[in-house]
């Protein structure tokens, strides 16, 4: 689907990304792990076409990209920055439908409104994600889990081939998080879903459907491949500077017991 070859990103004389090679094929779901400041967000911004690398190549479908907006159109992004820009008084349906016109919520004047078909599609996406009961609720009253689902529905309005979820469980209580992750697992196994990139600091959030993991360390790819092979006690201890006493494996998930 897309490929980064020998990608570097330098800002203010600092190498933020160094010699990154990464290829994502259609239908693959990836987790992206790495300590704070290791370059995850920068990598995804390059991968999704929000910024050019300062060296290396970005390919899509085997051909080198010359137009980043082409890449951006095929990517959906759900993260903290987006969450903070949502107009809180607008309804779940309005927020979801605004994805069809490339906006975060609707402006009251001077814009092209979503069509009736867009609203129907947005409602269907919300219903399919178990949010049928909150379509007319203002965003401000929604739970953290519902907010994430509304933003996923918004991102899916343009049929992205790849969807980035940047720390979607941040701030969720354990019950909300587990219900959200159970829902995410159903999305991962649904053939209609786009490929997913899940950025997280918590290994246990890597659901069984996320079969591959890329690990960033100081701007480089420290490891990439099948999650079960890549995510080991030794790697986690080195990455985070805290020992892992044991890794509990249960129902396809891994729970590190930090020492």
Ligand X SMILES: Nc1ncnc2c1ncn2[C@@H]1O[C@H](COP(=O)(O)OP(=O)(O)OP(=O)(O)O)[C@@H](O)[C@H]1O
Binding site for ligand X (CB under 6 A): 11-12, 14, 16, 34, 36-42
Q: Which CB atom, from 93 or from 239, has the smaller least distance to ligand X? A: 239
Least CB distance to ligand X at residue 205 (A): 14
Least CB distance to ligand X at residue 106 (A): 29
* Bridge partners (DSSP) listed for residue 8: 55
Q: Which CB atom, from 38 or from 90, has the smaller least distance to ligand X? A: 38
Q: Which CB atom, from 17 or from 93, has the smaller least distance to ligand X? A: 17
Q: Which CB atom, from 42 or from 98, has the smaller least distance to ligand X? A: 42
3-state secondary structure at position 98:
helix
Least CB distance to ligand X at residue 221 (A): 12
Least CB distance to ligand X at residue 121 (A): 32
Q: Which residues of 70-79 are buried (b: 16+ CB within 10 A; e: fewer)?
A: ebbebbbbbb
Least CB distance to ligand X at residue 162 (A): 18
Pairing of strands 30-33, 212-217: parallel
Q: Which CB atom, from 218 or from 228, has the smaller least distance to ligand X? A: 218
60 HSE (CA, 13 A, CB side): 17
How far apart, in Å, are the Cα atoms of 167 and each of 101, 164, 206? 25, 9, 11
Contact 209, 189 (CB under 8 A): yes
Q: Which CB atom, from 204 or from 217, has the smaller least distance to ligand X? A: 217
Least CB distance to ligand X at residue 43 (A): 7
Q: Hey, how many other C-beta atoms are within 10 angstroms of the C-beta on 37?
A: 12
Q: Which CB atom, from 3 or from 166, has the smaller least distance to ligand X? A: 166
Least CB distance to ligand X at residue 34 (A): 5
CA dist 17 and 215 (Å) reads 13
Q: What are the start-end ranges of the E strands in the chain?
A: 2-11, 14-24, 30-33, 55-60, 63-64, 75-78, 162-166, 195-199, 212-217, 220-226, 244-250, 253-258
Contact 254, 203 (CB under 8 A): yes
Phi-psi map region of 102: left, alpha, beta (phi>0 left; psi -120 to 50 alpha): left
């Amino acid at each position: 689907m897309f490929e980064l070859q020998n990608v570097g990103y330098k800002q203010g004389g600092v190498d933020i990304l160094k010699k990154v090679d990464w290829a994502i094929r259609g239908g693959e779901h990836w987790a992206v792990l790495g300590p704070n400041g290791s370059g995850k967000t920068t990598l995804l911004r390059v991968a999704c076409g929000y910024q050019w690398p300062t060296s290396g190549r970005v390919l899509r479908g085997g051909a080198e990209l010359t137009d980043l907006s082409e890449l951006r159109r095929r990517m959906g992004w759900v993260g903290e920055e987006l969450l903070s820009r949502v107009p809180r008084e607008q309804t779940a349906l309005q927020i979801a439908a605004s994805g069809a016109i490339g906006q975060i919520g609707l402006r009251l004047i001077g814009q092209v409104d979503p069509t009736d078909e867009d609203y129907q599609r947005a409602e269907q996406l919300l219903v399919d994600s178990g949010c049928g009961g909150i379509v007319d609720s203002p965003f401000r009253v929604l739970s953290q889990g519902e907010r994430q689902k509304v933003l996923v529905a918004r991102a899916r309005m343009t049929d992205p081939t790849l969807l980035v979820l940047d720390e979607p469980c941040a701030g969720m209580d354990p019950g909300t998080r587990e219900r959200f992750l159970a829902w995410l697992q159903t999305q991962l196994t649904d053939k209609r879903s786009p490929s997913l990139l899940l950025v997280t600091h918590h290994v246990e959030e890597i659901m069984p459907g996320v079969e591959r993991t890329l690990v960033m360390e100081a701007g480089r790819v420290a490891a990439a491949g099948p999650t079960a092979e890549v995510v080991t006690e030794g790697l986690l201890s080195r990455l985070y500077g805290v020992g892992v006493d044991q890794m509990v494996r249960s129902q396809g998930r891994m729970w590190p017991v930090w020492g």
